Structure 1
Amino acid sequence: MNTLARNFSHTFRRFLTASVLNIIGLAIAFASFFVIMTQVDYDLNFNKGYKDYQNIYRLEIKPNEEWGWQLWTPRPIAELIGTASPHIQASAITGWVNDNDYEVNGNLFNEPMMTGFGDFMNVFQPEMVTGSTDALEKKDNVLIPVSMAMRMFGSTDVVGKMLFRGKQSDNKPVTIGGVYKDFPENSQIGNYIFMPFDPDIDKNNWGNWNYTCYYRLNNPANVSEVEKLAFQKLMKIAPEELQEGLQEEKDNADFFHLIPLSEVHFSKIGNKSASSRTTVYLLICVSFLIVIVAAINFTNFSLAETPMRLKSINTQKVLGAKTSSLRGGLIAESVLISLIAFAVSLVLLLAVRNSGIQDLVTADLSLGKHLPLLAATFGISILIGVLAGLYPSFYVTSFPPALVLKGSFGLSPKGRKLRTALVCFQFFVAFMLIIAIGIMYTQSRYIRTSEYGYDKDAIVVGDVTQDARKQKDAVVSELSRISGVEGVAFSQFVLNSQDTYMSWGRGEGDKNINFACFPVDEHYLDVMGIRITDGRNFKPSDNGVYIFNEAARKKYPWMAVDMPATPGDWNVVGFCENIRFSTFRNNDIVEPMAFIYVSNAKNWSYENRVNVRISAGTDKVAVIRSLQKAMEKFTPGHDFNFRFMDQVLDNAYRNELRFTRQVLLFSLLAIVISMIGVFGLTMFESEYRRKEIGIRKIFGSTTGEILRMFNKRYLYILIGCFIVAAPFGWWIGQHWLEGFAERTPIRAWIFLASFLLVTAITMITVTVQSWKNANENPANSIKTE
């Protein structure tokens, strides 16, 4: 052990620069590996926190070709499927998740709530801390998670206590019937307030496609049998109109299917921004590529040190040291450096845990929550140390003790080929990742700079509380007094915030229409800057009218101004320009949509969001502060989440943007690690060739010619690596673009820019490192052995 410590200390000091570069490169790689794999672990284990998760399935259904596959289904269909087979143990028919205000002991909390029919919690089977899921059988009883109980009451002993929806003065109490252990953060059904529906809502309504359904089976092997039995039962019991459509289907596969809950995270149905397994596998590849690049650096450094340690090793052999012990010591030195790098990576992770790096992943980066991953990273560090030291240790101990080696493995044909191959792999990774990130950047820029059909850069949006809804006119008056505010309007949704919105079907037969529906107030189109192309805008006196987009008029040519959209339906008062109302995952230019206005909307409240138009040149940050302060007059202490449309877009594309940022950051790290390797290898190579450089200068070579000699070799390597890497980078970028219905073409400049970037960095690195020896006095160089 003492010998190992002495040899390691001596080697570390002798090759200080190389050792420090090794540790930095490996530490960055290990930290990157840990961060990426937390995201991979989050995605691959999504929805696996429920009891017997493999027995839980979600219903996906396709009412017709025009609607396509969706999650929403009528209650009768959901209940019929739930009773179709004895293999189904429980059914959960759930509605929307809504954020509501709740008052507790004078404090206001905004919390998500999910409602369902019957004993719907029997599907998810939460672990109860106090109370029971049976409490939901009683009217106005709710279940809450431990985290919410602690936040509201500071205790989990809260069964029987009251929550007041809205404010206590509104007199809408609900009773806490139980407290359940929080589900993991990577769960489909989150930590909500669970509450039962009124048992009579939509009981026999086959036309209200408004519920999402989950089923617990006794065995996953029975899923096909369950689907067939449910389809047969639908054929017998469903209304005649639905049966006519079902008779055209050969089996259930064209109408509905049950998807395992563990696969829901990767299903694009109902969530076009869902993660994909290919993306997860790409992240795994990126994480290992970064580690491999760092390992290559380590191996190259070890190989480069070899010729300078031959005399020392041979001397120890002459003095009686065993070859096996020498090899073991060299490998142990390599492992020790790798373990030091692992320790440094832990320091890096602790330092960046609360920084912007957390935004790159959806998982918590706390080391204590990922102990198996931490152990795996530790194991990889040992493996890299062994592999990096294995070949050099066998090579350096393979010579007879009496042999005096003049020359260098680093410059021998065999050594040059091995080093060249390792450096080529590093450049291949750098080119591939930069090309991919270039493609992603152009699409992201395309999304931000495209025309949306309304003045998105002038709009700020915020949430609206129940108290504020009750004082709509006062809210408009209060906000309009703020300097820079040009207009205020209410809407149920925020444009471009999601893939799908409320979908309506109207009419029958040849006059059947389907469209996205946006409930708004009478000022909305003016505030947003949406242009009317035919007819008129909304009036305050309108009570149930449409303004369709031009895509709807093109698809349904019978629609006209001042005429019902379909027989017996509301009137169409106007048409507007086609706008981008959802995301680029849809082709909004051909999708029918309608703004609706109901002056006396009793069935729903469409004033969920407030849209504020800001005049040009206004300090938007200051306006947002003023808006928040003004809205607090209606609900003190509430965060109204005012945000720019850019922030809305960032949230709508959060998965794609997160993946882009991940690839960008780790591409840069891969380049940094690769350049560390090039720097170190050039340092050793220029040292090996000092005598050659001196002789060349004596025979008239200039400094520029010597620098070109070093750079020329790397230029050829770069060209070859780029040719091989370009198709792989294109494939990664093309796969990412497939998630968008509207996308920008892949430009040639992306490939050119990636080549020039890596080449410039490499040439600068080689030139800087070779400059000293290229300018050294030839007399000093020739004396060097």
Structure 2
Amino acid sequence: MKRLIYTFRYLTRNRGNNLIRILSMTLGLVVGAILLSQVAFDTSFDRFYPDADRIYQARFVWVGENEDDVADGLFGEPWSVLRDELPGTVSGTMFFPQRNLRPFYYEDHPHVFQGLYHADSVFFDFFGVKLTQGDLRSGFLSDRNIFLSGSCAERMFGGRNPVGEIVFYDKSAPYTVAGVFEDFPKNSTLSFDALIPLRNIAPFTDINGWRPNMKWGGTDCFRGYVKLVPGANPDSVNADLRKICRKYADTDEVFYRLYPVTQLHRDNADVRHHVFIRSLLAFIVLLVAAMNYALASISSLATRARTMAMYKCNGNTSSGIFGMMLSETAILILLSMLLAVLLVFSFRQPIQQIITPPFSAIFTAGNLTKTLAVIIPLFLIAGVIPAKIFSSIPVALAFRNYALNKRLWKQFLLFIQFGCAALMITLLAIVVRQYRLVLHKDPGFRYENLVFVRFPGFDPAQADMLKHQLGKLPAVQVVCFASGLPGYECSGDNISEEATGRGVHIFAYGVDSDFIPAMEIRVASGRNFGADPAGNEIIVNEELVEKMQWTDSPIGKTVLLFQTPRTIVGVVENFYNQPLIREPNSVIHPSVLMPATGSPILIAKLDGITPEKLSEIRKLLTNLFPSTDITVDIYREVIRAQYENELHFRNTVFVGVIVTLLISLIGLVGYTNNEIQRRSKEIAIRKVNGATASSIVRLIARDLQWITLAALVAGFAGAYLIGGNWLLRFATKTPLNIGLFAGCGLTVCAIIAVTVILKTRRTACENPVKSIKKE
């Protein structure tokens, strides 16, 4: 009890040092909680299902020469047969995720759904989802029924019962609300607002304007799951599944494989990377905060050493002082935790800007508990360092003038803080440069002034009329139609040379003759399509020419595409098919442009994008198609949205840099004050003997130069490894050259130098008589 009383006495009397320690720990806890809570969130996906450890997703596998290619998609009808034949399973379900949704309307009010699934009647029971309103069995009797999530129903109907109400998809297709289901948690790989029974092809035709082929080798957009019997061996079930696949595919080159649902999210390469980086950044910030706590505690030796010796004279033991120091650490940690929680919830809006999931999904009791389980031991370890030093103070210190400065300890702790600051600043520079690079890298086409509108089920006969009407607008320069958007979305198929049979997988775009001018894609050889192109003409990119190993001109060659002979009439320079966040060389694929009139995506090139011009286009299209909801999307915004995670990561690193620098500067200020106080008599004598203020500043700064140099080397090495690992995700990378590290090194040195000069100069200019009198 006495030890606790002594601890409280010190904490209330020495408020300056304690505020420094509480501030550094609080800042570390805030950033650590933000980062580690996201890690806890990412590693908890899909663990809430009943019997989650027995649920597996089936994925499509292509056997390759070096490694297998795996995709989420399945063929519809074969999977419904396979899951029933597969031994070792209890049940299975299948659904079709609807893409490119247009709004649903209720009482003329549009509502955009965040995902729509067409699922079988087993879906809800399989995943343990309960209906809060409506009847499950009767709801699946009609293809024109729809189930809504609780949050979606609240947005559309408020507090009213929506069961039996009629909603319209795209102002034309009516659906009756049959029930309301509980929202899936945010840490689920399944994300949707509505579900429509999967009973036949009709819903697909109504909504998407096309009929998917459900046979083996048809449309691979379905998703399938199975639940294994208790104790079943997944490897044995996978072996049986491959045997059954062989009956339908008649080959060993393609088959299905089961993957545990609890590992789907965390096994994703991007998720693994984000978990690793966030964990590392959290460790760095928390380490800096913990080392600064230890540094501040050791810096108080000059004022507390004799007090500890007196405690020993009065019967206290080394273990008692050790426990007293740990109690002090525990109290300060508790105070810091309370302040950190207050700050996190007070600044929830700014925090939401640097995290991807919703704030409420990240900062849950479970995630915060996991976070504290990591953070608290780290600070307790930091508390052990000063506790060990204070408990070893000799009793003789109470009777003679004996100085304990533990200078090496303080310099070591400062070295860690400087190194982490250099690492974080350099990492921020790498992230900022890479983010700018992906936004400004030439993708092989120009998208700055492009807008697009989707027309599912568009009638090709209206294409010319629509292009003519849009062409009348002063802001519109070129109008074209396409089946896909380069750099964003496309569909694949196979192409082969008719003469040799050599083939490759390609990305195909159905376009009209205005597509190449609108996108400003450069023609390398041959020509563009004419105003009325022949149906067998195609244009290929340079990547396809290289993959097909054509050494002569490809113009005039005949290839088979969709089992139809096609003649190559032109070659265009390469353009990106996918975002730059891909493995090397995977953003540019062999590509084919095919003539198609009235593809479902209208693209317009403007002389500049303004709200007024977008409103004018939307008004014209709404008048032409009053029963269709018109959404005009800006191409550049779609491209930028693909790098949203990188933007959040940049913001997270920026916050980490600010906090790391602030904590490090607090430590540096404390170290400098302690050194000035410890050497005040020496400084006074030097000034009496003619030392100038600048020489006194150099005297204090000299001890830091080697620490700073060593810290920069360590920090740069860490930034090179971490930054290089992060850059592996990109096909095009910013160079990690000497200029980058030199600039970051000069920044760190400048910050340290300015801080030391400002703190030392006052003492250096002070009358030495004052310091001697104090002594």
Tell me if both proteins adopt one fold, taking TM over 0.5 as the criterion: yes
Cα offset, 1:400, TM superposition: 3.2
CA distance in 2, matches of 1:316, 1:27: 30
Residue pairs, 1:97-116, within 5 angstroms: 97-98=98-99, 99-111=101-113, 112-116=115-119
CA contact (8 A) 2:103 2:629 kept: no
What is the TM-score when the length of structure 1 is the normalising length? 0.84
**Contact kept in structure 2, 1:543 and 1:599, CA below 8 Å:** no
Is residue 343 from structure 1 mapped to residue 338 from structure 2 by the alignment?
Answer: yes
In structure 2, what is the equivalent of residue 607 of structure 1? 600
Give the C-alpha shift of residue 672 in structure 1.
2.0
Q: Does 1:143 align with 2:147?
A: yes
- 1:538–1:573 Cα contact (<8 Å) kept: no
Shift of residue 678, structure 1, vs aligned partner: 0.8
Query: Within 5 Å, which residues of 2 pair with 1:438-449?
Result: 438-449=429-440
- CA change 1:631–1:322 in 2 (3 A) is farther
Q: Which residue of 2 aligns with 1:579?
A: 575
Distance 1:163 1:750, change over 3 A: same
Asked if the contact 2:32–2:282 (Cα under 8 Å) also holds between the matched residues in 1, the reply is yes
**Inter-partner Cα distance in structure 2 for 1:289 and 1:572:** 56
Identify which of 480, 488, 499 aligns with 1:489.
480
Matched residue, 1:32 = 31
CA distance in 1, matches of 2:579, 2:668: 43
Secondary structure of the structure 2 residue equivalent to 1:581: coil
- Residues 192-212 of structure 1, C-alpha deviation per residue, up to 9 Å, x if partnerless? 322234536645453443433
Matches within 5 A, 1:75-474: 75-98=76-99, 99-111=101-113, 112-116=115-119, 119-134=122-137, 135-155=139-159, 157-167=161-171, 170=172, 172-199=173-200, 202-219=213-230, 221-235=232-246, 237-238=247-248, 242-243=249-250, 245-246=251-252, 255-267=255-267, 274-311=269-306, 331-355=326-350, 357-366=351-360, 369-375=363-369, 392=386, 395-396=389-390, 398-400=393-395, 403-410=398-405, 415-461=406-452
Matches of 1:387 and 1:562 in 2, distance apart? 71
- The equivalent residue for 1:271 is none
Query: Aligned partners of 1:384, 1:267: CA distance in 2, in Å?
Result: 28
Query: CA deviation digits over 1:404-456, x for unaligned, max 9?
Result: 4535322xxxx112112211222222233333333333433332332222123
Q: Distance in 2 between matches of 1:382 and 1:73?
A: 46
Matches of 1:329 and 1:367, distance apart in 2? 39
Distance 1:529 1:318, change over 3 A: same
Q: Structure 2 matches for 1:523-602, cutoff 5 A?
A: 523-532=514-523, 533-537=525-529, 539=531, 546-556=538-548, 557=550, 560-561=555-556, 565-566=560-561, 568-569=564-565, 572-584=568-580, 585=582, 587=585, 591-599=589-597
- Secondary structure at 2:233's aligned position in 1? helix
TM-score between both structures, scaled by the size of structure 2: 0.85
> 1:40 Cα shift?
0.7
Partners of 2:32 and 2:375 within 8 A in 1:
no
**2:71 alignment partner in structure 1:** 70
Aligned partner letter, 2:509? F
Q: For the Cα contact (< 8 Å) 1:74–1:207, is it kept in 2?
A: yes
| C-alpha distance in structure 1 between counterparts of 2:92 and 2:160, whole Å | 28
What is the CA–CA distance in structure 2 between the aligned matches of 1:521 and 1:224, rounded to whole Å? 49
| Identical columns (%) | 22
RMSD over aligned Cα atoms:
3.8
Q: What is the one-letter code of the residue matched to 2:593?
A: F
681 and 465 in structure 1: CA distance in 2 versus 1, 3 angstrom threshold: farther
Q: Deviations over 1:15-36 (max 9, x none)?
A: 53x4433333222111111111
Please report how far the alpha carbon of residue 760 of structure 1 lies from its aligned counterpart in structure 2 after TM superposition.
1.7
> How much has 1:717 moved relative to structure 2?
0.8
Structure 2 CA distance for partners of 1:402 and 1:289, relative to 1, 3 Å: closer
Query: Displacement, 1:183?
Result: 0.3
Q: 2:737 aligns with which of 733, 747, 755?
A: 747
Aligned match of 2:717: 727
Q: Hey, what does 2:209 align to over in structure 1?
A: none
Q: Which residue of 1 aligns with 2:648?
A: 658
1:757 Cα deviation (Å)? 2.0
AA matched with 1:591: H
One-letter amino acid of the counterpart of residue 544, structure 2? A
Instruction: Out of 630-639 and 648-657, give the one that drifted further.
Output: 630-639
AA partner of residue 143 (structure 2):
K
Letter in 2 for 1:454: F
**Which moves more between the two structures, 760-769 or 544-553?**
544-553
Q: For the residues of structure 1 that align with 2:630 and 2:306, how far apart are their CA atoms?
A: 71
Residues 95 and 210 in structure 1, CA contact (< 8 A), matched pair in contact too:
yes
SS of residue paired to 2:349: coil
Once the two structures are superposed, the pairs formed by residues 657-696 of structure 1 within 5 Å of their partners are 657-696=647-686
Q: For residues 104-161 of structure 1, what are the alpha-carbon distances to aligned partners after superposition, in whole Å with 9 as ceiling and x for unaligned?
A: 2232222231224564445434222233444335332222211111112224743333
Q: What is the aligned partner in structure 2 of residue 503 from structure 1?
A: 492
* Cα-to-partner distance string for 1:685-734 (whole Å, 9 max, x where unaligned): 11211111111122222222221222222110122223333333222122
Q: How many residues align?
A: 749
**Measured at CA, do residues 329 and 554 of structure 1 come closer, stay the same or move farther in structure 2, by a change above 3 Å?**
closer
Contact 1:101/1:166 (8 A) holds in 2: yes
Q: Secondary structure at the match of 1:265?
A: coil
User: Secondary structure at the residue paired with 1:94?
Assistant: strand
Change (3 A) 1:520 1:555: same
Read off the aligned partner of 1:46 and give its amino acid letter: F
Q: Match of 1:90, SS?
A: strand
Taking a change above 3 Å as real, the CA distance of residues 473 and 775 of structure 1, as seen in their structure-2 partners, is farther
Is the deviation greater in 619-628 or in 722-731? 619-628
Whole-angstrom CA distance in 2 between matches of 1:525 and 1:153: 46
> In 2 relative to 1, CA 458–324 (structure 1 residues): closer, same or farther, beyond 3 Å?
same
Q: Please tell me the residue identity of whatever aligns with 1:539.
A: A
Is the contact between residue 75 and residue 211 of structure 1 (CA under 8 Å) also seen in structure 2? yes
Alpha-carbon separation, structure 2, partners of 1:568 and 1:219: 50
Alpha-carbon distance between aligned partners in 2 of 1:54 and 1:667, rounded to the nearest angstrom = 39
Matched, 1:737 2:732: no
Q: Find the aligned partners of 2:219 and 2:756 in 1 and give their Cα distance.
A: 69
CA-CA distance at 1:348 after TM superposition: 2.2
| CA distance in structure 2 between the aligned counterparts of 1:622 and 1:690, rounded to whole angstroms | 69
1:257 offset after TM fit, Å? 2.1
Q: Give CA deviations for 1:211-270 in whole Å, capped at 9, x if unaligned.
A: 3332222247432122211222233x22xxx42x42xx6xxxx844211112222455xx
Change (3 A) 1:223 1:296: same
In 2: Cα distance, 1:139 partner to 1:774 partner:
85
- Secondary structure at 1:505's aligned position in 2? strand
Kindly tell me: are residues 642 and 757 of structure 1, through their superposed partners in 2, closer, same or farther at Cα, counting changes over 3 Å?
same
Question: Which one-letter code corresponds to 1:695 in the other structure?
Answer: I
Distance 1:202 1:771, change over 3 A: same
How far 1:464 moved relative to its partner?
5.8
The answer to whether the 8 A contact 1:541-1:599 is kept is no
SS in 2 for 1:275: helix
Going from structure 1 to structure 2, the CA distance change for 1:591 and 1:368 (only over 3 Å counts) comes to closer
